[in-house]
Amino acid sequence: MLTDRFREELPRDAIARAKALGLSLPQVVTVASLIEREAKSDDERRLMAGVYYNRLRLQMPLQVDATLEYTFARHKTVITQADLARDTPYNTYLHGGLPPTPIANPGRPSLDAAFHPQPSAFLYYVYKGNGHHAFSRTLAEHEANVARYLR
């Protein structure tokens, strides 16, 4: 029943949309799972998807904290330098491309975002509170946002 319900949530043209994005259906579902875990607000999901696809296209590491958290036995609110060095296939700081499997069961808003990303030049984002992220195009802008919102 769960699998049938999940298939109902997929767009009717899911395979064609995945192919148009240069990915397989399981890969797009994996992107949707990242969005599911990282996004706090539906209005940012498509933009976040765009960030992931931009990074994949440029062969940049995804650097998604939620992929690391997926490997933890318990939830951690802060990712440490030691966590970033953990050699697991889900460590998108160490390993390029997508993690080997989805890290969550994505809902319709995350699936829609993964299949219909918002085009942008953004390559980075950082959580700024109140359910929203600050998006940036350059590492310098990102570092300024990190300083502003995380320190």
Q: Are 33 and 103 in contact (CB under 8 A)?
A: yes
In eight-state DSSP terms, residue 23 is S
For tokens 């502003």, the residue is 148
pLDDT at residue 6, rounded to an integer = 80
Domain boundaries, the chain: 2-120
DSSP-derived letter for residue 97 is S
For the chain, how far is it from start to end, CA to CA, in angstroms? Answer: 45
The pTM of this model reads 0.92
- Residue 3 has a pLDDT of 77
Query: What's the pLDDT tens digit per position in 17-71?
Result: 999 999 999 999 999 999 999 999 999 999 999 999 999 999 999 999 999 999 9
Cα angle 23, 29, 33; round to 5: 130
pLDDT for 95-114, tens place per residue?
A: 999 999 999 999 999 999 99
Mean pLDDT over 118-137 rounds to 96
Contact between 65 and 80 under an 8 Å Cβ cutoff? The reply is: no
